[in-house]
Chains A and B, each alone.
Chain A
Amino acid sequence: MTLAGLPWAQLLGLFAAGAAALTMLYLLRQRRRRLEVPFLRLWEQVLRQSEATTLWQRMQRWLSLLVQLLILSLLVLALGDPRLGASPRGRTLVLLIDASASMQAKGGDGRSRFDLAVEQARHLVRHLAGDDTAVVVALDSQPAPMGGLSQNERELLQQLDAVRVQDGPADLLRGLQLAQDLSAGRPNPQVVLFSDGGFDEATLAAVPAGLDLRFQPLPDGAARMAAAEGNLAITSFAVRRYRRNRLGYEVLVELAAFGPSGGSDGPSVPVELEIRQEGETVDLQQLTLRPGERLRRLYPNLGGSGTRLEARLRRRSGGDLLPLDDTAYALMPQRRRQRLLLVSRGNLFLEGALLSISAGEENQIEIEKVAPAAYDPLQAARFDIVLFDAFTPPEPPAAHALYLDPQGPGSPLPIVETVVAPLVTDVAKEHPVLRWVTLKDLNISRASVFRLGPNDVALASMLRRPILAALERQQGGKVRRAVLVGFDIRRSDLPLRVAFPLLLVNALDWLAGEVTDEALRFTTGQTWRIPLADRAAAPTGEADLVLPDGGRVPVPVHEGVALYHGQRVGFYELQSRGQRPVLLSANLFNPVESTVRLRTELAVGEGAARRVLPQPEMGRRAVRRALWPYLLLLCLLLLFLEWWSYQRRWTV
């Protein structure tokens, strides 16, 4: 037996003090209560007979004291929290509670699958054997234990209460890995999965063998609610502005109907699809979806000044099994007017491309052209972007700049060599400047090779020799960006390619600090990289993220990008000191979760190792290892006996 509470020395001290106090109270108790009687003579006649029993009565009083001391010793021992040694039969249980989006599916009684799973887990916790140890793990996209391994039923129930169902998928494999780590080196490890079994086959096949994994299916009530009508979902929702008319935009919505068992059974479902912009309805359509069908709807030429868009899908009669994926969120890309100074001796290719970009009812680019001889840095400082075509000023302008074929010492990046007929071998495809741009088989007669600084980006290189580069510099407390094209476009076939206007548009967008549409659209259950509005102005530190429910969380910022593991759908706002707030949207868009599949049996592994997971066993309520409840129970029993004997006048 070991003590988990107070040590022996303190216990003995407590007992000594308590025993002294008790004995003193008993001695005080010997002082008799005085009582008046009307006729003492009668009492004396009686008392003469009882003298013989006085000794026995004194002993009875000491018996009472002994009982009190015994109670005291048991109480003091309980403070020491004595525990029996662990038995070899004790299990180490990791309770994986599926907190994925599909667990939000609700039945007719208003209880969700998650509620049912937690209830089952509570039942298991209440029936753990005395020598079982357990821990609760929330199984979402970022599985985490809700506490430490414990034998304490109340603590485990608190861990269960702390689990929150999320709007994202569950990472089963990571959860199992975590469970293995938690139970490593402990006796009889066992993992119990409380879930609807809504995992894809590939995940289930990848479940490692040799893990004692048990599956607790949801009760029959949940099965009934799954069998009702299946689930409708918005599986994609995107909005983009037109390049030529940035006031207009188009919206793409993809809908899906999942049958009752995830299949294509069942009747067609009449639905309503509503598009809202800043809470106002923009469009409402009546549609019909067949189970298993995916339906895409494109809304071209939409207009409006709002930023937040919502798509809502409704059954025309009845509710949906999983309301979470019936609403999707999207943000309109921000638009800004740009002023461009073109410094060129004349370049028809370039001017033609700029003309195409700035054409339209609402030109976002105002272009002003000057000859290199008339270039004035002060004038350039009044523009957002300066485009140098085959001209390199001695000092970089106080604005963002696009250099075409920079030369000489004025080049922002030193030119280390010149290569003839270079081949583009490496392209930074993920960079916004090269979005949708293909440089394959580009013919260039001659190109300059730049020497990059530590934070400069090589957009295109020939055998690691950059000929297209992007850089950011601090200048006068502001960030100045520049894109350098190391060749004369007129001596290449780039102007003849679709890539040229795209490259030009992307470069202008990037220089203006505009983020791409995709950069601010996220799906739940992933770690989001959220670019700040002015990345170079806040390279590292912390920012505040306003959640859809209005709460705020601090998020770390590294190199102008904030990191956050998002698990809720809706609109977010990233706020950072000295920066424009950045809006972003998050959606589920996960067909596995939207299927809301409900399995009553879960088979994992593949091939010969495929096995059906057994259900967990309830513990046999054995003697718990913590002895204090029994000691207190014994105390109560003794107190009752003492009280009873006192009332019967045996121990007085």
Chain B
Amino acid sequence: MGAPARDIGFDQAFLKKLEYLHVVARRVFAGRLRAERRSRKAGTGVEFADHRDYAPGDDLRYLDWSVYGRMDRLLLRLFEEEEDLHIYLLVDASASMRVGDGGGKLRYAAQVAAALAYVGLANLDRVSVLAFGDGLRARLPAARGKGRIFKILDFLAGLQARGETRLAETLSAFVHQTPRRGVVVLISDCYDPGGYEDGLNMLRYHRFEPSVIQVVDAREAAPQLRGDLEIVDMETGALRQVTLSPRLCEEYARRHRAYCEGLQAFCSSRGMSYIRADTAVPFEDLVLRVFRMGGFLR
């Protein structure tokens, strides 16, 4: 692993934690082996799935001659094809992810993404990592096998928090650039002035299976600020003069809570997994929680 990866905390201890998570994940999903994700398409599988009408050009080897004998119809036998699962880890690298100590939320998001990627790679799934902020910024092509984890770590370590969060634009670009469907894990604070709804719906409409991990720092959830301040939006640079009092901070915390709960309700109502990740909670605990919920990495 290179020096940048170590800077963000991807050192030997981190790798040990990833291995630990992998072992735990295997226990949770004991009995499930590789390539268990199936698609209903004619393929080289062994388990019969369905019939369809023959069309010119189909492989004659898959014609069901017994049905033709009984019913005088040319039907093609379909099998459940065993195919690799595609996992897309979308990491928010916008400016608002700077909040927090030692690299802020972005570091935390990178750690979570690395952990999920490692477990996915270990399951021989195809894992692709993408960073966004001011649109889709960088992409690591899909890869398989544990050996690729170092590339992912280097990619994550190289991320810098900058730019605005524009989920609708970003996810729209993603779905159009990504032909293979799969699981999408959005790791972000979801602070989009334009709203998160359109973006997430875009994923749903294009048959991805979206999951949301909202990274939240305690400092932004319940700020302890007092006095005369000039607050600046990290992403847009918009200014606002304010005199903060405890009462005002309490009101802000209440509104923040309501915002997060709104996101959670949106995801739940649309069958999307949602997890709120407090940066104070160790990332490995969070990853285990993700496994237990079962929405990811089946």
**Which A residues are within 8 Å of any B CB, using their own CB?**
30, 32-47, 49-50, 53-54, 57, 649, 652
Contacts and interface: CB of A to CB of B under 8 A. Distances in A.
Majority-rule SS of B interface residues: mixed
A44 B193 CA distance: 12
A35 B236 CA distance: 14
B232 A42 contact: no
Nearest to B194: A41
B228 interface: yes
Contacts of A37: 220, 231-234
Contacts of A57: 243, 245
Interface string B195-227: 000000000000000000000000010000111
B230 A35 contact: yes
Given A38-B220, A40-B231, A649 B191 contact: no
B255 A42 contact: yes
A206 B255 CA distance: 94
B259 interface: yes
Contacts of B240: 40, 43-44, 47
A33 B227 contact: yes
A264 B260 CA distance: 102
Contacts of A649: 226-227, 244-246
A304 to B, nearest CB: 92
9 contacts: A33-B227, A36-B234, A38-B235, A43-B231, A45-B255, A46-B251, A50-B242, A649-B244, A652-B226
Interface in B226-267: 226-236, 238, 240-246, 248, 251-252, 255-256, 259
Contacts of B259: 42
Interface of B: 95-99, 189, 191, 193, 220, 225-236, 238, 240-246, 248, 251-252, 255-256, 259
Given A38-B99, A42-B256, A50-B251, 5 more contacts: A33-B227, A34-B231, A38-B234, A39-B189, A40-B236
B231 A35 contact: yes
A279 to B, nearest CB: 80
A46 B233 contact: no
A54 B226 CA distance: 14
Nearest to B225: A35
Contacts of B189: 38-39
Nearest to A39: B191
Task: Please name the 5 residue pairs, one residue from A and one from B, whose CB atoms are nearest each other, closest first.
Answer: A40-B233, A38-B96, A39-B191, A32-B230, A652-B227
B233 to A, nearest CB: 4
A35 B232 contact: yes
Contacts of A41: 191, 193
Contacts of A43: 231, 240, 242, 252
Contacts of A54: 243
A47 to B, nearest CB: 6
A34 B240 CA distance: 10
A583 B40 CA distance: 131
B184 to A, nearest CB: 23
Interface centre among A38, A40, A57 (most CB of B within 10 A): A38
Contact of B228 (A30, A36, A38, A50): A30
A44 B241 CA distance: 10
Nearest to A38: B96
A36 B236 CA distance: 11
A32 B228 contact: yes
Contacts of A46: 248, 251-252, 255
A34 B243 contact: no
A30 B228 CA distance: 8
Contacts of B248: 46-47, 50
A36 B223 CA distance: 12
A229 B187 CA distance: 96
B7 to A, nearest CB: 22
A432 B236 CA distance: 114
Residue among A34, A39, A57 having the largest count of chain B Cβ atoms under 10 Å: A39
Contacts of B231: 34-37, 40, 43
Contacts of B236: 40
A127 to B, nearest CB: 47
A32 B229 CA distance: 5
A33 B98 CA distance: 19
Nearest to B252: A46
Among A34, A37, A50, max chain B CB count under 10 A is at A37
Most B Cβ at <10 Å: residue of A30, A33, A36 = A36
Nearest to B94: A38
Contacts of B99: 38
Contacts of B227: 33, 649, 652
Given A39-B233, A40-B240, A652 B251 contact: no
Contacts of B252: 42-43, 46
A47 B225 CA distance: 14
A51 to B, nearest CB: 10
